[in-house]
Amino acid sequence: MRELEETLTKYGDEFRQILNTDWGYVYERSSNDGCISYEVFKRLENKKYNCVSFPSDKAFGRWAWAYRTPERAVKKLYDIKPIENGKN
Residue 72 — φ and ψ, nearest 5°? -65, -35
According to DSSP, the residues that pair with 59 across neighbouring strands are none
pLDDT of residue 80: 96
Task: Give me the amino acid identity at 19.
Answer: L
- Asked if pLDDT for residue 86 goes beyond 60, the answer is no
Instruction: Give the separation between CA 50 and CA 61, rounded to whole angstroms.
Output: 24
What ranges make up the beta strands (E) of the chain?
7-10, 13-20, 24-30, 36-42, 45-46, 51-52, 64-67
Instruction: Give the separation between CA 5 and CA 15, rounded to whole angstroms.
Output: 9
The answer to whether the pTM exceeds 0.95 is: no
pLDDT of residue 83: 84
Mean pLDDT calculated for residue range 60-65: 97
pLDDT bucket at 29, cuts 50 / 70 / 90: very high
pLDDT of residue 87: 56
Domain residues of the chain, as ranges? Answer: 7-79
